[in-house]
Structure 1
Amino acid sequence: MITTEQQQRMVDKVAQIDALAARARILPVITIAREEDILPLADALAAGGLTVLEVTLRSALGLRAIQVLREQRPELLVGAGTVLTREMLAATEQAGSQFTVTPGVTQDMLEAGVESSLPLLPGISSPSELMMGYALGYRRFKLFPAEVSGGVAAIKALGGPFPEVRFCPTGGVGPGNINSYMAQSNVMCVGGSWMLDSKWIENRDWARIQECSAQALALLD
């Protein structure tokens, strides 16, 4: 059970996530391998229209990237992805993250999200996991891995028993199916990394990343 104060806090966090999703539409999922890539990569994405960034903690530079971007690119909205534990959540707060995203859920992680000052977008792949979050006031979830977990058909099916819930499908989303996802009334945005080809980053082909980002958004117009 959560307190009345926590319930109101969760309502406020849902509103924050809705505002984030409306601005993002497409949430690029970024893993930083070289510190010198942090700013030019973010600048390329922003020039292409993607100004809400999920920086994953899959690399040792994740927290550093969040800190650098918050300090030097305050116009961007920067969050932390692949947050697995309370300790990681606390570290993202200290780094300046503005939101957090998990690939899955545990009861402890969901409770930590209720207590956190940051809005948390928990990753789920089943109705049971969704219900764990729902009981604590969560109404916005990442469906991950989206295509493996049933894709558009799953999102349509979940809309029946959970009409208040909206999703950010991530995992297998790309140019070929993005419009099918975004056509669903319970999809608020999508996440992906197809505009971040590892070869482009390795070769510092920032123009290609900018172009692909702009093309991705153009698919939704």
Structure 2
Amino acid sequence: MTKTLLSALIGKAAPLIPVLHVENPEHAVPLAEALVSAGVMALEVTLRTEAAPEVIARMRKAVPQAIVGAGTVTKPEQLAKVRDAGALFAVSPALTERLALASEKVDIPLVPGAVTPSEMLAAREYGFHELKFFPADLMGGTAMLKHVLPLYPDIRFCPTGGISDGNVMSYLELANCFAAGGAWLAPRDLIEAADWAEINARAKRAVAVVAKG
């Protein structure tokens, strides 16, 4: 079965996906506005907080142009929950048979994680051709992705983990990377401090780095 691709949702927007840890639902809207106004359209709200479904719902309602998804999906039942909250995509750090089968029943694009050649092949056999590569910095980074490109030329990745303005282009320049993500665009401490100006500035810098190439 061919899976809906996250890259199709992102389209021509900047291929940057901040991973957002949001404890306070009141931070949802100003956070989304700070990122989207800087040109960062795809937002991954991690399910590491109980507030995540409400945060997703608030972002989708108040900032409809944002491409809001859910991250750290680790249980099959979470797919329907985040879809019902309004998430447009879901991201998992790994892939299990139960998660893959659940994705067949829930109408939401899933980007599962894979870091070894065996995991990548298994994901492709389940029909996934866009995968999360995490933690990128600990699993070989760009060197690893270069090695697997000739093995799986039809698989593309969104690396996260250790990504920054300093190295994001080294990933995005690879033929098998469709986006890059991480917390550096909107760190947890800045979100909790409600420092929307600094988050906006960070997002603008990252977008400029990508635009410059």
Equivalent residue for 2:200, pick from 210, 213, 216? 210
| SS class of match (2:210) | coil
Is 2:138 the counterpart of 1:148? yes
Q: Deviations over 1:34-76 (max 9, x none)?
A: 1211111111111111111111100000011111112222111
| SS class of match (1:191) | strand
Q: Deviations over 1:120-178 (max 9, x none)?
A: 10011111111111112111101011111110001001101101111100111111211
Equivalent residue for 1:113, pick from 92, 103, 106? 103
Deviation at 1:24, TM superposition (A): 4.2
Root-mean-square deviation over aligned CA pairs: 1.3
The percentage of counterpart residues that share the same residue type is 37
How many residues were matched structurally?
A: 210
Larger displacement relative to structure 2 (134-143 or 18-27):
18-27
Give the letter aligned to residue 18 of structure 1: S
Contact 2:79 2:108 in 1 (8 A): no
Equivalent residue for 1:49, pick from 33, 39, 46? 39
Give the letter aligned to residue 38 of structure 1: A
Deviation at 1:86, TM superposition (A): 1.2
Distance 1:150 1:205 in 2: 33
Distance 2:153 2:14 in 1: 22
What residue ranges of structure 2 are gaps of 5+ in the alignment?
none
Deviation at 1:82, TM superposition (A): 0.5
Is 2:158 the counterpart of 1:168? yes
1:54-73 aligned at under 5 Å gives the runs 54-73=44-63
Contact 1:141 1:167 in 2 (8 A): yes
Distance 1:190 1:60 in 2: 25
Q: Which ranges of 4 or more aligned residues in structure 1 deviate by more than 4 Å?
A: none
1:1-221 aligned at under 5 Å gives the runs 7=1, 10-11=2-3, 13-14=4-5, 17-22=6-11, 23-221=13-211
| SS class of match (1:132) | helix
Contact 1:101 1:122 in 2 (8 A): yes
Deviation at 1:200, TM superposition (A): 2.1
Deviation at 1:98, TM superposition (A): 0.6
Give the letter aligned to residue 178 of structure 1: V
